[in-house]
């Protein structure tokens, strides 16, 4: 997409607004499948928590993707969007056994990361195929806030608990058909990822009826010009070679699975907001936008970086601004950023807004959540309307605490 397309969408549909480029999503999906073209059974399961609009899900299904889900509701949305149950994997954390059983009844693949849950589920449903999530205690991600492979992580069954895990499987007679790991986001060092993969291969040898091995994802995308990213092509060559060797040793060909979220949709997303005002203080120039962390919480939640550009005045002289929102708390999108000169009424665009942006949006300060647009075949399609006041009242019930007026004497 070009900036003129984004500006036209903002003016036609109103703001603030999220815009997703379908062609970018397709190109990222193709890049990943091309990198692993040597794998006979490749499963790409889109991690829908990154962006769960049903039109985005339908686009993924049309490309042949499966779906990685973390809640019963995500499974239900996936089915509604066109995925068959056998293309959905359910990887929850800390949910009730009843939620897991509800997903089993829908026909999705179960992935369990808790020994107690595994034992209970195995005693109840020994015939249901189960994948096991392993914590290899390897941090392949670059941000400690979004790494899930460390030893104190709440995710996965520790590799040090494998003997206990095997005893549960033997005692219950349950069917283990997959092993899985996810070390975290923003993976840069391929060798560290491959080291974690070796731990997963070693674990896989303990199970004789596997159908797939799931290596998670967490591939880093560039957030600004010149930024580094995961070398998917190099990873494809090295991991494919090692995977073929493992399958030969294992005795049959298995499926290789990934669950990318950010890699597929992050760069495809653009968030656009107008500027309400420019405020000069003793030390800072603030660009105050018509949005806040109710719409885009990632910078305040874990310090994520989003490139910010002025769509209305892209060639203007660059000045330093702190871009802030209208929430009645500190909600800074970017501090001391060099941006083309900003005036009231200009439209700013926040890049890399496809992953964990709208999906984390809220109604904090009783603000409406924004609209969503997908850009497909050179046209903008509305895939979610902006909320209105009725949406804020939906599901609420007013109980009146005012005293009833006394009845006048007859």
Q: 131, 247, 328, 357: which is the annotated catalytic residue?
A: 328
Contact present, 117 and 97 (Cβ < 8 Å)? yes
Instruction: Give the pLDDT score at 299.
Output: 96
3-state secondary structure of 245: helix
H/E run at residue 172: helix 162-172
Radius of gyration of the chain (CA): 24
What's the DSSP call for residue 405?
P
337: tokens are 């950023």
Instruction: Give the pLDDT score at 225.
Output: 86
What's the predicted TM-score (pTM) here? Answer: 0.94
Instruction: Give the pLDDT score at 188.
Output: 75
3-state secondary structure of 249: helix
Instruction: Give the pLDDT score at 146.
Output: 43
Reading the chain (410 residues) residue by residue, the pLDDT tens digits are 899 999 999 999 999 999 999 999 999 999 999 999 999 999 999 999 999 999 999 999 999 999 999 999 999 999 999 999 999 999 999 999 999 999 999 999 999 999 999 999 999 999 999 999 999 988 665 554 444 445 667 889 999 999 999 999 999 999 999 999 987 767 878 898 999 999 999 999 999 999 999 999 889 999 988 898 999 999 999 999 999 999 999 999 999 999 999 999 999 999 999 999 999 999 999 999 999 999 999 999 999 999 999 999 999 999 999 999 999 999 999 999 999 999 999 999 999 999 999 999 999 999 999 999 999 999 999 999 999 999 999 999 999 998 777 776 66
6: tokens are 């984004």
Which of 175, 195, 184 is CA-nearest to residue 156? 184
Active site residue 328: yes
DSSP per-residue letters across 101-164: HHHHHHTPEEEE--HHHHHHHHHH-TTS-EEEEEE-----BS-GGGB--STT-SSSEEGGGHHH
Rounded Cα gap, residues 84 and 89, in angstroms: 11
Q: Beta strand 379-384 with 269-280: parallel, antiparallel or unpaired?
A: unpaired
Which of 231, 304, 215 is CA-nearest to residue 266? 304
Rounded Cα gap, residues 43 and 36, in angstroms: 10
* Residue environment code for 41-55, b if the CB has 16+ CB neighbours within 10 A, otherwise e: ebbbbbbbbbbbbeb
- What residue ranges define each of the domains in the chain, with the CATH number in brackets? 36-265 (3.20.20.10), 269-393 (2.40.37.10)
Rounded Cα gap, residues 233 and 33, in angstroms: 10
Instruction: Give the pLDDT score at 145.
Output: 45
Contact present, 154 and 145 (Cβ < 8 Å)? no
Contact present, 32 and 258 (Cβ < 8 Å)? yes
Give the up-direction half-sphere exposure of residue 286: CA atoms within 13 A in the CB hemisphere: 16
Instruction: Give the pLDDT score at 148.
Output: 47
Instruction: Give the pLDDT score at 167.
Output: 97
């Amino acid at each position: 997409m070009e900036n003129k397309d984004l500006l036209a969408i903002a003016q036609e549909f109103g703001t603030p607004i999220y815009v997703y480029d379908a062609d970018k999503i397709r190109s990222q999906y193709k890049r990943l499948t091309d990198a692993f073209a040597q794998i006979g059974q490749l499963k790409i399961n889109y991690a829908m928590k990154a962006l769960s609009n049903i039109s985005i899900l339908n686009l993924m299904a049309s490309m042949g993707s499966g779906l990685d889900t973390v809640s019963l509701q995500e499974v239900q949305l996936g089915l509604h969007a066109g995925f068959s149950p056998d293309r959905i994997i359910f990887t929850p954390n800390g949910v009730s056994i009843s939620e897991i059983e509800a997903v089993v009844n829908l026909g999705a693949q179960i992935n369990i990361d808790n020994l107690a849950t595994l034992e209970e589920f195995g005693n109840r449903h020994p015939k249901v195929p189960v994948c096991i999530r392993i914590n290899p205690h390897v941090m392949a991600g670059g941000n400690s806030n979004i790494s899930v492979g460390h030893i104190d992580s709440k995710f996965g069954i520790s590799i040090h608990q494998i003997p206990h895990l095997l005893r549960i499987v033997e005692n219950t007679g349950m069917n283990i058909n997959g092993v899985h790991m996810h070390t975290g986001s923003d993976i840069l060092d391929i060798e560290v990822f491959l080291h974690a993969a070796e731990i997963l291969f070693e674990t896989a040898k303990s199970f004789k009826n596997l159908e797939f091995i799931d290596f998670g994802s967490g591939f880093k995308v560039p957030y600004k010009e010149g930024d580094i990213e995961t070398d998917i092509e190099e990873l494809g060559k090295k991991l494919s070679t090692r995977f073929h060797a493992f399958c030969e040793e294992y005795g049959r060909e298995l499926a290789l699975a990934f669950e990318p979220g950010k890699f597929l949709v992050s760069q495809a997303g653009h968030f656009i907001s107008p500027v309400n005002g420019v405020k000069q203080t003793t030390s800072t120039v603030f660009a105050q936008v018509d949005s806040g962390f109710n719409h885009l919480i990632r910078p305040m939640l874990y310090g994520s970086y989003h490139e910010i550009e002025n769509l209305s005045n892209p060639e203007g002289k660059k000045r330093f601004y702190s871009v802030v929102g209208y929430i009645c708390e500190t909600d800074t999108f970017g501090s001391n950023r060099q941006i083309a000169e900003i005036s009231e009424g200009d439209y700013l665009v926040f890049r890399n807004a496809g992953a964990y942006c709208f999906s984390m949006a809220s109604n904090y300060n009783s603000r409406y959540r924004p609209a969503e647009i997908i850009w497909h075949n050179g046209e903008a399609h509305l895939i979610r309307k902006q909320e209105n006041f009725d949406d804020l009242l939906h599901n609420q019930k007013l109980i009146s605490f005012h005293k009833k007026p006394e009845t006048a004497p007859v």
